[in-house]
A and B are shown apart, each in its own frame.
Chain A
Amino acid sequence: MGSHSHGHHSDVTLRVNGKPRTLTVDHRRVLLDVLRDDLDLPGAKKGCDHGQCGACTVLVDGRRVNSCLLLAVCLDGCDITTVEGLAGDGEEPHPLQRAFLERDGFQCGYCTPGQICSALGAVAEAEAGHPSHVTDPALPSGRPVPLDRDEIRERLSGNLCRCGAYPRIVEAVEDVIR
């Protein structure tokens, strides 16, 4: 019946940015807090802490999710990618990180790691043929969905930017899908 559990704690192994990390977690801890406080990965940000702002967005098994609403104990064996893992081992930032810099896709920067992880997930979803609220229902299912500005805006609506850098964020995403 699942991982080793001792009352209110369990042992879990998460593969974070390619590295296995085994730790004992209090069942109440969410992935966001484990990343920031236990694993020294402060890239994912705590905004609302209720799944409403998207600042905590990371990729779990390649899918974008709100890490503030995921209990770490549920993720035993999962692959986690945070903004710190996007550039790989090299010095070069990920092309989307580069695009955010070149397009001035932020002001204060607090929402940026979540925006970038969310955009990567959104681009992968569109390539896999996932429609969105603004996709023409007549588009045949299973085909990649072309991402115009309306599609990008809709698909990133789960990421708030209180500085209002939205136009530049959309341009940055357009740069990497061209």
Chain B
Amino acid sequence: MKPFAYVRPGSVEEATDAYASRPGARYLGGGTNLVDLMKLGVERPAALIDVSRLPLDAVEELPDGSVRVGATVRNSDLAAHPLVRDRYPALSQALLAGASGQLRNAATTGGNLLQRTRCPYFQDLSKPCNKREPGSGCGALEGVHRDHAVLGHSDHCVATHPSDMAVALAALDARVELHGPEGTRSVPAAGFHRLPGDHPERDTEIEPGELITAVVLPARPAGLPSAYRKARDRASYAFALASVAAVVEVTDGVVAYAGLAFGGVAHRPWRARRAEEALLGAAPTVAAFEHAVDLELTAARPLRDNAYKVPLARGLALDVLARLTASARA
């Protein structure tokens, strides 16, 4: 590992100032991914700016009923928080489907969003990877890619985003709050991560020096039925082969609101807008769900060895939609 300087700022402004004054700096949250990537030589920061102890560790309801989650709230605490469990169950379930108890105790909300792909070619310095080293090629395209993307990938990169939490945030219409040299802005969680296109080295829309300060969940004082379901190679402690987060509201016998997102299938959480549009106004029947989900998944372009992901994602979505609307269909 390359030697690096270490600073622990006491405020968000000190943190962004420290970043601006230190070329090659990186923000450090819980470190569960960044420290690992430093050990592998994938990340080689000149300085770490430790933001894990910034006073951003609250989960609070705002006057308008939305819920603001500070960027340093640990994944385990967020999953257990009564506001999250009661109003946004898909978020709690997604967090608990990820990693291990130890890792969730360390990982932060902001860091979870910024974790890098677990593509083995990205993590192996001896292999080509356009994300790690632009222009070097993609080893996975014709290589071992069973775990890789089936939607939205390019010839430059077929990696998937590994976060479970981010999939729930996309389906829930959460927003990501960023603090940077130009001030504060907020972007939709569903648009925070990018598709690879010609620039797979850029995972997100975050600008250099910007710091995630919070995630804001939309006002749902009465909650809405939502759930997360994930398929993986073993029962626990594995990344998603495919997953789905869904929020559905049925009013007067028709779908009045639907938020649907897939995980493990693309370079970002895949918000299924076409499926949502098809669901709106439809009666919550199995046939309507199949029609909507199939409409979304016609865009899938599986690689040589991962076509299984399309029916897997389909089955997960149909199951979750049926479960969330069971009482409305009874």
Contact = CB atoms under 8 A, between A and B. Distances in A.
B103 interface: yes
Interface in A142-176: 142, 153-159
Contacts of B99: 158
B86 to A, nearest CB: 6
B5 A158 contact: no
Contact of A70 (B7, B10, B35): B35
B82 interface: yes
Interface in A4-39: 5, 7-8, 10, 26-28, 30
Contacts of B28: 71, 74
A63 B105 CA distance: 7
Interface in B85-111: 85-86, 89, 92-93, 96-97, 99-103, 105-106
B100 A1 contact: no
Contacts of A7: 3, 5
B237 interface: yes
Given A71-B31, A131-B96, A157-B236, A64 B89 contact: no
A3 B10 CA distance: 12
B52 A74 contact: yes
A158 B103 contact: yes
B292 interface: no
Contacts, number: 129
A2 B236 contact: no
A133 interface: yes
Nearest to B50: A74
A8 B100 contact: no
Interface residues of A, number: 46
Interface stretch (A83-91, A94-102, A103-111, A117-125): A117-125
A112 interface: no
A157 B100 contact: yes
A1 B32 contact: no
B79 A69 contact: no
Contacts of B92: 131, 137
A28 B89 contact: no
Contacts of B307: none
Interface string B100-141: 111101100000000000000000000000000000000000
A81 interface: no
B8 interface: yes
Contacts of B82: 141-142
Nearest to B234: A157
A66 interface: yes
A66 B93 CA distance: 22
Q: Is the interface of A mostly helix, strand, loop or mixed?
A: loop
B105 A8 contact: no
Given A1-B14, A141-B80, A64 B101 contact: yes
A141 B86 contact: yes
A142 B18 CA distance: 39
Contact of B7 (A5, A26, A50, A121): A5
A2 B7 contact: yes
B97 A133 contact: yes
Contacts of B106: 65-66, 69-70
A153 B5 CA distance: 40
Interface string B9-49: 11000100010000000001001100110110000000010
B4 interface: yes
Contact of B8 (A2, A54, A66): A2
A30 B39 CA distance: 10
Of the candidates B7, B81, B92, B100, the one having the most CB atoms from chain A within 10 angstroms of its own CB is: B100
A139 to B, nearest CB: 9
A29 B215 CA distance: 31
B61 to A, nearest CB: 14
Contacts of B236: 133, 153-154, 157
Contacts of B14: 1
B32 A69 contact: yes
Interface in B168-227: 227
Contacts of A135: 96
Of the candidates B18, B79, B105, the one having the most CB atoms from chain A within 10 angstroms of its own CB is: B105
A57 interface: yes
A42 interface: no
Contacts of B308: none
11 contacts: A2-B6, A2-B9, A69-B36, A74-B28, A131-B80, A141-B81, A141-B86, A142-B82, A157-B100, A158-B100, A159-B100
Nearest 5 interchain pairs by C-beta: A158-B100, A2-B8, A157-B236, A8-B3, A141-B82
